[in-house]
Amino acid sequence: MMTIFIQSLDYNLWDLIVDGPNLHTIRNENSEVISKPRTSYNDEDCKRVAMNAKAKHIIICAINSNDFNRVSSYILAKEMCDRLEVTFEGANKVKEATISMVVHH
């Protein structure tokens, strides 16, 4: 249901959740790849960061306090969705096993 809701608001927002914001990286003085500093963001980078914040807000408004505690520390909306997907997948397996057991008895 969340998929349809977010897609109806902004399909590009859903793409950002699925793919991540893909912020640019740079090489530092040690030739290590690091995230681009916020002071170096261009308009596209700023737009992606804003869309990530919007996506996080939508997700947080759609979940209960237990699920909020599971995902509140994540920076990316994609990370939040991935964590919720794993959580609910496990819960659904338990639910299916319980239903199967009850039907069997």
Convert the pLDDT of each residue in 61-88 to its tens digit.
988 998 999 899 998 999 998 898 887 7
Backbone angles phi, psi at 35, to 5 degrees: -65, 145
The proportion of the chain whose per-residue pLDDT surpasses 70, expressed as a percent, equals: 84
Provide, rounded to the nearest whole percent, the portion of the chain with pLDDT above 90.
Answer: 26
**Distance between terminal CA atoms of the chain?**
32
Beta strands in the chain (DSSP E): 25-27, 33-35
4 within 8 A of 68, measured Cβ to Cβ? no
**With DSSP H G I counted as helix, E B as strand and the rest as coil, what are the percentages for the chain, rounded to 5?**
70, 5, 25
Whole-number pLDDT of residue 55: 92
Give this prediction's pTM.
Answer: 0.72
Q: 52-55: which pairs have CB atoms within 8 A and are 24 or more residues apart?
A: 52/16, 52/21, 52/76, 52/77, 54/10, 54/13, 55/6, 55/13, 55/16, 55/17
- Given a cut of 50, whether residue 31 has pLDDT beyond it is yes
